[in-house]
Structure 1
Amino acid sequence: MWISKRVPLFTLFVLLVGLSSCWKASPHDPSKLKAMNESPEEQNTNFLVVSVGGSALPTREVTKDWKIPMARYYDLYACLIDRGSRNKILGIQFKVKVDETEVQPWTDENGCLHWQERIPVPNYYADENYLELERTIEGLGIYKGPRKVKIAVNPWAGFRKTGNPEIVWVKTGGEIPREIKVVGKEEVRQALAGKQAGGGQTPSSASPSAATKQLWMTNLSSYVKQIEELDKGVALEIHLAMKPVVKLRTLQGDPNPYPIKAGKFRVYAQIVATNLGRNRDQSLILTPDIPPSVGEVDEADGTLRVFLNAQITRRVARGNLQLALRVVPVNAPEEIESFEGLYEVGHYTQLQGKQGLWVSPRTNAEGERFSFDGFLKSTANYEKLVEAHQAFKLEPFEFSTMHIKFETIKPG
């Protein structure tokens, strides 16, 4: 059948409408088929991919101490139809190429192939993003030719329950913004290995690098009790409880503190008296010799608990108390920065007992980060405060014999 160029456009339009009314309705959305861009090698392929997706599988592949998942397992699927008849392809074997390996699944009663993949998660505390994977489906037997499918996988979404889709079928390339997607076989391979892409490629801004992530402590509370009196001062036991989180960002770039559910930390703490001196701008360490303590996060409630033994050999007559804190990850499987912060305790008379601590404004000062060592160095002024009678040594009790001489006792 041919159509003369001289046929009026209106007549041609009517003819096409008439022909279309004779076509049998496709069991699949035609828009999905039109959205597929065929490569030259796919033009003779006699099957089409009409649906791609998947779901996560349970996994117990975690690190020993920190219980961090090392990988995410997926059951992926691709549903196929015959290119000519548009019918589902049932009970036919195909080949699926997955990087350097391949599997040969059979289509099920829905015309879908299923295969399983393990996606490594080298940087568990990286910011959430998508990794674009390309898989090739090849026909065997009566079905010929390849079909390439692209799947964007976001394993972080599954672990963090962010609500973002974990698996997205990339049909046109515009389903996932480029800024939050790692694209390219080599770049994805490098990302899955925990490295940046090399070989002259331009790294994606979404590539999950091994850059350190900031640690933060929430819900900090203390319980201080006196154990005994010493020759010089008193012995205290300091119980600290806190919930560690890692400062991450969502796909939209918003802050997203993520709780650490297991792990070991070394905790350093110093009690400091503040608002001293004539101008109330001086500080004094009250517990200069506290050894650090190591604690583990309770998996039941995500709380890190430690206790420290302290000796107070100094006291003050005015001012407030602060707690300088440093928390260092021990044997962390990923690069997580140590936390350093300053917390307000209250009036100098409120040291003992149980109380919640709140973050000092100095911890969040704009343009600078609180330095544990720098802060303690600024408190090295004990002798000057003693001279000003704002600090005192806790001297031991001294006993001496009292000599009393009675000369006479008068009645009444």
Structure 2
Amino acid sequence: MAIRRSQRGFGLISVLISIMLVTLMASVAAGRWKRDIEDLAAQSTGKYMLAVRSAVIVALQRHEAAFSLTDISNAPPGTYPVPPAWVAFTGDTTTISVPDLKGAGLLAADFPSTPPLGRSIHIKFFRNTADCPGFGCETKAFIYTCWPITGARPVGVVNTQACTPAPASMEFDGNLVGAVVKAAGSYGGSNGMLAGTVRGPLFNRPTTDMDIPATSAGHAVVIASLNDVDHHGYVRMGDIRPVNLNNTLSVVGQISSATGLLLNTNLLPGSACTVEGQYATSNRSSPLLCTGGSWFEVTNHTVLGTQVLANGAAVAAPVCPGANMESFSYASLAQLDATMTGSNVNVRGNLAGNVVGNGFVNQTGNVNVTGTFNGTVTSAPDSSVRVGQGVAVTNGVVSIPSSNPDARALVITGCRYRS
């Protein structure tokens, strides 16, 4: 009987020990399970912030003209996409939320409005407005968690448009912060080491720049900037940079310029060319056209005006640009008005009939009549009447020799390239 009692006692102790071990193991397993869940939430938060960053990068690329304050009012309709209202901000900064990105179609409609950790995500844009538009103009954004990274979750509906301060008792979890930053790659950082400064491989800024209290440590931050992507090697819509190509450029549509077309050539008119229809400029800046295998000077003289002037009138000569051009004036008679006397008149012909009065006639000589003449005079085929009247522009003044007051000259003025 004693033996059986001893065996029953040993069995009860074994059961108690087994229960204690199972409880301990369950407790340890529950702690590990909770930790695994939090680690996964931290990694998901980092990936979540990267997704938001991608949407911001698309916004910076798509609406770069608006961010850089470039005047696109004269662009044809449809050239640039219409930016969301939050893109057209004034000043150096503006802050938006994840729902703002969703509303602009930059994130899917079913994209969560809040991250797994950190309460809510906010995006603050920074722009050096004084340099915009221009080469020094840059817009970058910082994506940050409203609350420090911890396993705690906010209670109730989160207002994603406003970042309310975290509870004073909330302390960040360094391991979770590290997991978020690691998941964000080189774009991530935090103020876990120093509450007043957010640091990452690509930035080092005061925490207050992100509207985070200087004493609130453990926030995760991700940077979004066109300087951090393969962006500057491409020509893009609204680009304000000079573009240099080292080979030919072909387009299907029309080429338009608001400032003109510059042909950086220095060719000799008449020299050989190979591409028919190609345009260039000469060694004296005149336009050339490749035609028939030679560079043809399209414009040597450019007419700028015409004037109808009387004898002695001054010619208004144009002012020609550059040292390669000079003014010219060409004149022709537009209206004759001359009295022919003396050697200016040469009438030759045959005279037949009777002369009444005193005088004489010689078929090859002179006719002198002091009375009246009744008869006919016929001219020979080589008969002529010479008018001694011409026109020239001398020292900027019209000169019409042997002219009467009604004589006029047509004067053509313009610019020509110097020989």
Task: Please tell me the TM-score bracket, short chain as reference.
Answer: under 0.3
Greater helix percent: which structure?
2
Which protein has the larger Cα radius of gyration, Structure 1 or Structure 2? 2
Q: Structure 2 length normalisation: TM-score?
A: 0.27
